[in-house]
Homo-oligomer: A and B are copies of this chain.
């Protein structure tokens, strides 16, 4: 692997805060030293790079876009710079590449090509909300989005509650932000009065809201979650 470049997984901010408030210096350094990037959205990635490294010449950047519209047969070519000894950085829209975005595919190809993959530190709404929930962090599952169909979703909520209570496996999931209030309504209706629910939104931002309480509390105290990025966690 010695003369190949590395694939760096570069986290970004979760909102409009100062990059170095939530990202370590190694992120700035890798961006400063790299010319090749694979990004989810070119415009926002350029804005992020400019904010963290204002002196970087944007015209010199070679940027490939990786999102649901990308022709996946082209993905292996995005790693050609690594084979020629150059580092390549992957930047996703918010948070950590590869966790809940298309970055995982490019990482998988990198391993097959024997390219070193280096993850950098940054904010993760999954990990930060789990830390702040007070729930079991020795055993937990992130489930992504629950089913949209009402009946299917209610079934899924009951299943997650069972796993949390009977197996002490903390259950995390998300919802499309404009449906958060509807998800909240489903949760307080479906879950038992004594079950603990953590709601964590706008994590790492100035208006962050993180609270763990039993359903009996939430039934009387409905937070405004509309369009706020939010993690729901059921735990013991």
Q: Which residues in A have some Cβ–Cβ distance to B below 8 Å? A: 9, 20-26, 96-101, 103-111, 116-119, 121-124, 126-144, 169, 203-204, 208, 210-213
Contact = CB atoms under 8 A, between A and B. Distances in A.
A96 to B, nearest CB: 5
A174 B126 CA distance: 19
Main secondary structure of the interface of A (DSSP, over half): mixed
Contacts of A122: 121
Given A127-B99, A141-B140, A143-B139, A20 B25 contact: yes
Identical copies of this chain, number: 2
B139 A142 contact: yes
A110 B141 CA distance: 23
A53 B104 CA distance: 36
Contacts of A107: 131-134, 212
A172 to B, nearest CB: 10
Contact of A25 (B21, B99, B142, B213): B21
A109 B98 CA distance: 33
A216 to B, nearest CB: 13
Contacts of A25: 20-21
Contacts of A130: 98-99
28 contacts: A9-B132, A20-B24, A20-B25, A21-B26, A22-B24, A22-B26, A24-B24, A96-B127, A96-B131, A98-B132, A98-B134, A99-B137, A101-B137, A103-B131, A106-B134, A107-B132, A108-B135, A108-B212, A109-B134, A111-B134, A119-B131, A119-B203, A119-B204, A124-B127, A137-B142, A139-B142, A139-B143, A141-B142
